[in-house]
Structure 1
């Protein structure tokens, strides 16, 4: 049986010292640590892949916190099952004692408990994502109702717009020429035409 640690930070300028210190304190040497300095959006990480190739049945993998493994709970759950079931490796998350597949509580294996906890976390994360989207949609709806506009700020009409608009309205110039004189696209000038007609 061998012990390994996986350490990850999201970018090269972030500090790994806290995670390294936690691993050293439980007797894992730097030689046994696999470190990635990149996003946790997926598992396509150089040193993580090296670690997985190295892991053998009965080995123990230590992680400081579950978000060091990844950000997406559904993907974490799949990867967790791959390691604990297919490779038969034990995983220990230092900051979350329930996520320790070595433990056995009243005859229930740690693998089962950890799997269950991860499923609950995955479900909670999904619900939170949905709630966040709903809150955002409700917030946008209320803001729009109160006159807040989203997207790019509206282009200001140039000083010569009224004069050019009258020329266009009297068919003395084309839409193309009107757009050229006001320095905007056909689309923008057409929008201004509609707005002006609404208040005429």
Structure 2
């Protein structure tokens, strides 16, 4: 009888637990690392999205990310948005960023606060793996829309090592920079 009461209590507690508020593509029980390469001048500029987890509504159609360090760091997100009739347009939004530490920022936006962490960047600052501690998304960014297959693979493996579900990362067609 005591075992039944204890089991019932555990089930009741589990039923009262709060469910996650959004999709998680990362095992948050695994620590998320941040790269030790920290050169804002080399990280700055435009990056093409090469692979990503399924996007949040405000990041749907994301094709590029720009990082602009300065007195106030900013990120520019370029999205390709198409209507039901197939007409597409490019939209850009710039968000100011609060520096949390080397290679870590907090951005505010329509879906609330968002933390961006540079998990890995190659030595030449050509390819980067970007993630969020809550696992809401992971990105592989590159300076070019094609090439660098070895670096793209390395970025995907680094995200997987940091708890991301590699099966959730979707590759964009190589050469697609629209």
Which entry has the higher C-alpha Rg, 1 or 2? 1
Q: TM-score, normalised by structure 1?
A: 0.24
| Larger proportion of helix | 1
Task: Give the structure with the larger strand fraction.
Answer: 2
